[in-house]
């Protein structure tokens, strides 16, 4: 077998391993893991529902902003960035307002998408579809 085929197989194995680690992390989701995910440059879609109203947008940038003191709240911002500094859409979640969080495999796209379901303290719901 040629050297390039061996390298391609090793890359494919690493990619599958990374996908499995991400899947396991999302299926065992916690607030701490949600924060950790902001480091990996993942993309997907975020859906926010409050009663009968909601919003949905694609995101390609996630950012965790830790509060400087106890009077402020830490947040995670999900943005669709057109260029480095140009934001087309954004949704911000207050970490302290998360009441429940769990992950699952997306029913419509089980091979490519994982879901993170969040219930906020006000009863609103957020679903984050992570493409992996």
Predicted model pTM: 0.83
- Say if residue 85's pLDDT is above 60: yes
Q: Check if the beta carbon of residue 132 is closer than 8 Å to that of residue 112.
A: yes
Each residue's pLDDT tens digit, 87-118:
999 999 999 999 999 999 999 999 999 999 99
- What CATH number belongs to 3-131? 3.40.1570
The one-character DSSP state at 29 is: -
CB atoms within 10 A of CB 101: 17
pLDDT at site 73: 93
CA atoms of 98 and 110, how far apart (whole Å): 26
Question: For residue 102, what are the β-bridge partners?
Answer: 117
Q: Check if the beta carbon of residue 22 is closer than 8 Å to that of residue 132.
A: yes
Question: For residue 126, what are the β-bridge partners?
Answer: 48, 118
């Amino acid at each position: 077998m040629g050297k390039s085929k061996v390298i391609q197989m090793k890359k494919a194995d690493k990619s599958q391993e990374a996908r499995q680690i991400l899947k396991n992390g999302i299926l065992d989701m916690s607030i701490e893991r949600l924060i950790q995910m902001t480091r990996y440059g993942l993309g997907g879609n975020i859906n926010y529902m409050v009663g009968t109203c909601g919003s949905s947008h694609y995101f390609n940038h996630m950012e965790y902003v830790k509060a400087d003191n106890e009077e402020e709240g830490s947040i995670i911002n999900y943005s669709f960035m057109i260029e480095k500094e140009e934001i087309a859409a954004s949704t911000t979640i207050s970490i302290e307002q998360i009441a429940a969080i769990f992950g699952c495999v997306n029913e419509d796209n089980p091979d490519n998408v994982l879901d993170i379901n969040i219930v906020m303290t006000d009863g609103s719901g957020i679903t984050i579809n992570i493409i992996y």
